[in-house]
């Protein structure tokens, strides 16, 4: 069985050679000279060969000439690995996969991720833009580390932490009769052609449930939904974040009766431990995400 080589002893040999004496090496290493000499002698005895010629000046033996570059390689490799492991352990390195609903991806994540990568420049991030159901499914299946989404029902597979609420409103063309109102009661929507979408289920189990049940269309794709609204095909309900604020032709009117919100939270697996980089992302989300949503 090969002898055990202690990194600290190898470091001592390298430093003695670089400094040219045990005395100078002891000052650099903050060790006493006898302790340094004893550690080098112990390694020589373990290997059965001397590294240094005996005398007043430090001079390598042929065995020492052979060992020195190999000791340097081993110490450098050890130090690199130690730095890498430490960086990975405290979340400064790694790869994070995170999935969010489209409105969060486009409205909140750009500035949020810009701040995150400023603090953690060596972390790689993959952002997935999916609907709420699929975000939860990706987290449950282990395809992503974290999800930022609505959780429509409790799940033993997922752990949910609430982040913020996103108010529901009515979206219509600016030239629509409803656009003159600052807020709306759901009953004013009776007789309107309501276009259902993936978030319409938020109206279920409220007084406005009949609007969803009697909706004229159902469109899950946001681009298609906005095109239908701009064409004057009807009105819809959306969370505030999902409304395109830059739209010149559409407007958002808060729905006050019923007062409905979409709850957005951080979702992770209830059965798996997050990698350190994902733990850092989780802490950063809980610390700062609310500021982007306010």
DSSP secondary structure, 7-63, as one string: HHHHHHHHHHHHHSSHHHHHHHHT--HHHHHHHHHHHHHHHTS-SB-SSSS--B-HH
Average pLDDT, the chain: 89
Look at residue 38 in the predicted model and tell me its pLDDT.
Answer: 93
Look at residue 217 in the predicted model and tell me its pLDDT.
Answer: 85
Look at residue 56 in the predicted model and tell me its pLDDT.
Answer: 63
Residues in contact with 114: Cβ distance below 8 Å, sequence separation at least 6, in sequence order: none
What gap in Å lies between CA 132 and CA 151, rounded to an integer?
7
Look at residue 210 in the predicted model and tell me its pLDDT.
Answer: 87
- Strand locations in the chain, DSSP E? 94-100, 123-129, 146-149, 158-173, 184-185, 195-196, 217-218, 236-239, 250-257, 261-269
For the beta carbon of residue 287, count every other beta carbon within 10 angstroms: 9
Query: Taking residues 74-78, what's their average pLDDT?
Result: 89
**pLDDT tens, residue by residue, 138-179:** 999 999 999 999 876 677 889 999 999 999 999 999 999 999
Query: Taking residues 16-35, what's their average pLDDT?
Result: 90
Return the DSSP state at 248: S
Look at residue 293 in the predicted model and tell me its pLDDT.
Answer: 55
What gap in Å lies between CA 220 and CA 208, rounded to an integer?
20
Look at residue 88 in the predicted model and tell me its pLDDT.
Answer: 75
**pLDDT tens, residue by residue, 221-261:** 888 999 999 999 999 999 999 999 889 999 999 999 889 99
Taking a C-beta distance cutoff of 8 angstroms, is the pair 289, 104 a contact? no
Residues in contact with 88: Cβ distance below 8 Å, sequence separation at least 6, in sequence order: 94, 276, 277
Look at residue 291 in the predicted model and tell me its pLDDT.
Answer: 58
Taking a C-beta distance cutoff of 8 angstroms, is the pair 267, 282 a contact? no
pLDDT at residue 91 greater than cutoff 80: no
For the beta carbon of residue 24, count every other beta carbon within 10 angstroms: 15
Residue 3 pLDDT grade (very low, low, confident, very high; cuts 50, 70, 90): confident
Q: Kindly report each contact of residues 244-252 with a partner whose C-beta sits within 8 Å and lies 24 or more positions away, as own/partner.
A: 248/174, 249/173, 249/174, 250/171, 250/172, 250/173, 250/174, 250/226, 251/171, 251/172, 251/173, 251/174, 251/179, 252/169, 252/170, 252/171
Query: Taking residues 124-150, what's their average pLDDT?
Result: 93
Look at residue 290 in the predicted model and tell me its pLDDT.
Answer: 59
pLDDT at residue 94 greater than cutoff 90: no
Residue 83 pLDDT grade (very low, low, confident, very high; cuts 50, 70, 90): confident
pLDDT at residue 90 greater than cutoff 80: no
Burial readout 59-84 (b: 16 or more C-beta within 10 A, e: otherwise): ebeeebeebbeebbebbeeeeeeeee
Return the DSSP state at 206: S
Strands 261-269 and 146-149 turn out to be antiparallel
Query: Taking residues 2-19, what's their average pLDDT?
Result: 89
pLDDT at residue 294 greater than cutoff 60: no
Look at residue 45 in the predicted model and tell me its pLDDT.
Answer: 92
What gap in Å lies between CA 240 and CA 168, rounded to an integer?
6
Q: Which is higher by pLDDT, 170 or 191?
A: 170
Taking a C-beta distance cutoff of 8 angstroms, is the pair 53, 83 a contact? no
Look at residue 239 in the predicted model and tell me its pLDDT.
Answer: 94
């Amino acid at each position: 069985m090969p002898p055990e080589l202690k990194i600290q002893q190898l470091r001592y040999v390298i430093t003695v050679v670089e400094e040219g004496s045990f005395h100078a090496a002891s000052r650099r290493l903050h060790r006493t000279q006898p302790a340094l000499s004893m550690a080098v002698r112990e390694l020589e005895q373990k290997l059965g060969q001397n590294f240094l010629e005996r005398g007043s000046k430090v001079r390598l033996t042929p065995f020492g000439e052979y060992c020195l570059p190999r000791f340097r390689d081993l110490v450098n490799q050890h130090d690199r690995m130690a730095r890498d492991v430490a960086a990975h352990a405290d979340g400064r390195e790694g790869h994070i996969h995170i999935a969010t609903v489209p409105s969060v991806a486009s409205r909140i994540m750009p500035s949020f991720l810009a701040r995150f990568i400023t603090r953690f420049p060596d972390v790689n991030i993959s952002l997935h833009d999916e609907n709420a159901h699929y975000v939860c499914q990706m987290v449950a299946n282990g395809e992503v580390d974290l999800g930022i989404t609505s959780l429509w029902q409790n799940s033993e597979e997922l752990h949910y932490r609430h982040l913020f609420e996103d108010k529901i409103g009515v979206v219509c063309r600016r030239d629509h009769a409803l656009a003159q109102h600052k807020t709306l009661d759901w009953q004013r929507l009776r007789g309107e052609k309501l276009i259902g979408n993936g978030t319409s289920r938020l109206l279920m189990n409220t007084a406005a449930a009949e609007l969803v049940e009697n909706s004229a269309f159902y469109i899950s794709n946001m681009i298609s939904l906005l095109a239908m609204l701009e064409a004057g095909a009807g009105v819809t309900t959306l969370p505030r974040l999902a409304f395109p604020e830059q739209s010149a032709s559409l407007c958002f009117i808060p729905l006050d009766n019923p007062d409905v919100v979409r709850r957005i939270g951080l979702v992770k697996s209830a059965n798996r431990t997050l990698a350190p980089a994902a733990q850092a992302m989780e802490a950063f989300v809980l610390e700062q995400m609310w500021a982007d949503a306010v």
